[in-house]
């Protein structure tokens, strides 16, 4: 029995995701698909369109066998930490043979070469990054430029990532480094190297739409395009882009618990700025430790802008050449959650992952869960109350952020639609026959 693992957000699950699952099973011959999915908040620092249990159910009904939740502290982290946490979860489960991920290029050799540079950064790359950041470039952009510069002039014969036979290897590398999916793919490969995992990578080349494309002219389009349709029209406009089972679930919950957007966070952000000391730094950052992704400069800038702006407008007002919009959104979310750097650093230094939280299960996959429970060095949590007896002190602390993030997400749903969702301790995971 073999298993392929997929790291995902499924925000929402669409036909491109279905294609990835089908291709991953075809290429690997895997019997089961186990997903490691972000919870109620995402890597870009915003809430998911639908709650994690709804998204998990949609994925299971569309072909996934088991879904574990990536802890909140990592699902809203930088690409490096997000990938490291997800790959570590797979490795610690003791039951994943392959990791499959989408990318704009399927040139595994090139991506692996770049991942090697990312993991064992040459001094000249480090120096280039420092110089670029000193001039105001963000870390991600600086690293990409440094790697392109490092590889220029080397004898690398690569596939043409741009489908233009006249383009140079250097321009191909630059194209690869500019794609969010490729960057995540590189981070997954770097994480595999970092932890010495034997899990084998399998790339599924993305079809038609780029990660951030807003076009929805084909049945398969990006999640960004689908979210844009939901924000500007009604749910009928997404029907052709998502599998039937997914559409049925989303349609049932439409304007009851879904969709949730970043600006549903606006009042919570405003309240956080009042509660945690908008004007007095000592009442927030100094007393509890620096907030993850929010340094002193960003905090000072936030304290000077209007507190009545929406979440998205606040993020845009704070954007500068030193901070990407995604970084700022994560900082604002972590400020609302009061995720401290002290806690975050302790989680990483003590072992990264302390539990596997089950949030979705297909009836046919009971055997793989039993295998994971047997092989894993960390506990599998199927019901939130189990955490008290199964987890270490550090694990309980991390799980506390998961519980808190669910409570906050549920409050967004209640405020938006008047619907009260079950909290972590009330929710049970249904075994779905699909």
216 pLDDT exceeds 70? no
Lowest mean pLDDT among 151-165, 291-305, 367-381: 151-165
Strands (E), 263-370: 356-362
Tens of pLDDT along 160-195?
444 444 444 555 677 788 888 899 999 999 999 999
Which structure tokens are listed for 72? 């909140």
Mean pLDDT of the chain: 90
Which structure tokens are listed for 77? 């982290």
**At a CB cut-off of 8 Å and minimum separation 6, what does 379 contact?**
355, 356, 386, 390, 391, 395
Q: Find out whether 102 and 205 touch, Cβ atoms under 8 Å.
A: yes
Which structure tokens are listed for 241? 């882009």
Tens of pLDDT along 4-45?
999 999 999 999 999 999 999 999 999 999 999 999 999 999
Q: Find out whether 91 and 377 touch, Cβ atoms under 8 Å.
A: no
Q: How far is Cα 252 from Cα 305, in angstroms, rounded to an integer?
A: 40
Lowest mean pLDDT among 216-220, 267-271, 398-402: 216-220
Lowest mean pLDDT among 216-230, 268-282, 379-393: 268-282
Q: How far is Cα 284 from Cα 291, in angstroms, rounded to an integer?
A: 9
Q: Which residue in this structure is represented by tokens 């110089």?
A: 131
* Radius of gyration of the CA atoms of the chain, in A: 21
Give the pLDDT confidence score for residue 154 in this predicted structure.
60
| Per-position DSSP letters for 420-432, written without gaps between them | ----TTT----EE
Interior/surface letters 76-100, b for 16+ CB within 10 angstroms, e for the rest: bbbbbbbbbbbbbbbbbbebbbbbb
Containing H/E element for 380? strand 380-381
359 pLDDT exceeds 80? yes
Give the pLDDT confidence score for residue 291 in this predicted structure.
95
Give the pLDDT confidence score for residue 160 in this predicted structure.
40
């Amino acid at each position: 029995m073999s298993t392929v693992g997929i790291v995902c957000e499924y925000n929402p699950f669409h036909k491109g995701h279905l294609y990835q699952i089908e291709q991953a099973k075809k290429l690997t011959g895997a019997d089961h698909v186990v997903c490691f999915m972000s919870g109620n908040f995402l890597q870009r620092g915003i809430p998911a369109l639908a709650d994690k249990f709804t998204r998990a159910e949609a994925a299971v009904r569309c072909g996934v066998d088991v879904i574990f939740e990536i802890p909140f502290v990592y699902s809203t982290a930088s690409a490096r930490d997000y990938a490291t946490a997800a790959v570590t979860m797979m490795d610690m489960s003791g039951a994943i043979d392959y990791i499959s991920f989408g990318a704009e290029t399927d040139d595994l050799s090139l991506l692996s070469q770049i991942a090697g540079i990312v993991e064992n950064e040459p001094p000249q790359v480090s120096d280039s990054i420092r110089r670029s950041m000193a001039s105001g470039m963000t870390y991600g952009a600086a690293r990409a430029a440094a790697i392109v510069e490092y590889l220029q002039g080397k004898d690398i014969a690569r596939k043409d990532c741009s489908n233009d036979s006249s383009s140079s290897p250097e321009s191909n590398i630059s194209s690869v480094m500019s794609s969010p999916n490729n960057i995540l793919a590189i981070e997954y490969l770097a994480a595999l190297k970092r932890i010495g995992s034997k899990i084998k990578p399998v790339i599924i080349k993305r079809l038609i739409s780029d990660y951030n494309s807003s076009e929805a002219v084909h049945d398969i389009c990006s999640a960004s395009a689908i979210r844009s349709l939901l924000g500007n029209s009604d749910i009928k406009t997404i029907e052709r882009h998502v599998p039937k089972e997914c559409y049925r679930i989303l349609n049932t919950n439409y304007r009851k618990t879904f969709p949730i957007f970043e600006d549903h966070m606006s009042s919570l952000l405003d309240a956080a700025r009042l509660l945690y000391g908008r004007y007095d730094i000592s009442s927030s950052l100094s007393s509890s430790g620096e907030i993850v992704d929010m340094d002193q400069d960003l905090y000072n800038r936030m304290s000077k802008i209007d507190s009545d702006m929406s979440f998205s407008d606040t993020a845009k007002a704070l954007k500068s050449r030193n901070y990407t919009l995604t970084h700022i959104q994560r900082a604002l979310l972590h400020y609302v959650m009061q995720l401290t750097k002290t806690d975050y650093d302790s989680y990483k230094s003590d072992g990264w992952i302390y539990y596997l939280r089950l949030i979705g299960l297909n009836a046919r996959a009971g055997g793989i869960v039993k295998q994971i429970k047997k092989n894993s060095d960390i506990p599998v949590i199927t019901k939130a109350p189990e955490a008290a007896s199964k987890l270490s002190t550090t694990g309980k602390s991390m799980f506390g952020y998961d519980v808190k993030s669910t409570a906050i997400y549920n409050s967004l749903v209640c405020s938006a639609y008047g619907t009260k969702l079950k909290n972590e301790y009330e929710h049970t995971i249904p075994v779905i026959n699909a």
